[in-house]
Amino acid sequence: MTVTITPTGGALGAQVSDIDLRAPLDEETVGRIRAAFLAHSLLLIRGQQISKEDQVRFSRCFGEPVPHPTNTRDRDPRVSEITIISNIVEAGQAVGALGNDEVAFHADLVFLHEPGSVSLLYCVETPTEGGNTFWTNGYAAYDALDPATKAKIEGVKAVYVHRNPAYNPPTPPQHPLVCIHPESGRPTLFISPSSAERVVGMDETEGRQLLDDLFAHAIQPRFVWEHSWQPGDLIVWDNRCTMHRRESFDNSQRRLMLRTQLLGPVTKEL
């Protein structure tokens, strides 16, 4: 299989064409896809008609997908690695997670000691308007920091806690504000403001100001790429060097997405 890799021309991402994910991929194709993924942090594959089993198999090109570690309600009962993201209600019961409201910028599962490493989202149904997803480029955001800020945050860590206590491990994790990507070796700004409780070694006011400043810097339009979904779209993104958010949409319109998730360290051990 000869695939075509075309950069989006935006802040991050590339489109993969000439590929059919209904069949297993050969080793050479997997190697090209993995290389493109590390180079661009996000891959968009359009026009796919895949089963849940196909999605899980493709996810294994990047590691081992796991059942979502906190959401047991919205897992697919037949394919446990699949989590359903949807606003659809059937017989009075929600068939998936997250509804139709806006989901603010975040990194997946950052409140765990091993957060999300790679996330995959497949579009089955999408509204005619709204529900777009936005990703930030943590590499570019870090590179654009001034030298004084880079020096200030070098070696500094933030403590992450989920608002739902049931999701938190006994000891909250600490992740560096500057991570060295475990595979690319590149420094990236790593921050997830909704779960960042405090900065280690700083008083509350100073730490919160630092987090707010870094977040405002990271979500500047020059670091953000927006995607308008179509049925059959599959996006793979690198949670270790991106944040993402979803805009709201009209709840009278159906949105059905299938997600697979990998976990792993966000920074290289030195």
82 & 189 share domain: no
Instruction: Note the pLDDT tens digit of each residue in 93-103.
Output: 999 999 999 99
Q: How many domains does the chain have?
A: 2
Domain boundary (182, 202, 218) is at 218
| 196 and 65 in a common domain | no
Query: Does residue 269 lie in a domain region?
Result: no
Indicate whether 168 and 181 sit together in one domain. Answer: yes
Q: Which pTM was predicted?
A: 0.96
Residue 143 falls within a domain, yes or no? yes
What CATH number is associated with residue 9?
3.60.130.10
**What's the whole-number mean pLDDT along residues 106-123?**
98
Place of tokens 């957060």: 115
| Domain-embedded: residue 207 | yes
Range of the structural domain that residue 256 is part of = 4-135+225-263
Same domain assignment for residues 9 and 130: yes
268 falls within a domain: no
Is the residue at 36 inside a domain?
yes
Residue 270 lies inside a defined structural domain of this protein: no
pLDDT band at 269 (very low <50, low <70, confident <90, very high): confident
Query: 53-74 pLDDT, tens per residue?
Result: 999 999 999 999 999 999 999 9
- One-letter identity of residue 115: P
- DSSP letters for the chain: ---EEEE-SSSS-EEEES--TTSPPPHHHHHHHHHHHHHHSEEEE-S----HHHHHHHHTTSS--B--SS--TTB-SSSTT-EEEE--EETTEE-SEETTS-EEEE-TTTTSSS-EEEEEEEEEE--SS---EEEE-HHHHHHTS-HHHHHHHTT-EEEE--SSGGGS-SS--EEESEEE-TTT--EEE---TTTEEEETTS-HHHHHHHHHHHHHHHTSGGGEEEE---TT-EEEEETTS--EEE----TTS--EEEEEEEE--SS---
Residues 126, 142 within the same domain = no
* % of the chain residues with pLDDT over 70: 99
Is residue 166 domain-shared with residue 255, that is, in the same domain?
A: no
At CA 88, angle to CA 83 and CA 92, rounded to 5? Answer: 110
Single-letter code of the amino acid located at 207: G
Residues 146 and 118 in one domain: no
Q: Are residues 229 and 120 in the same domain?
A: yes
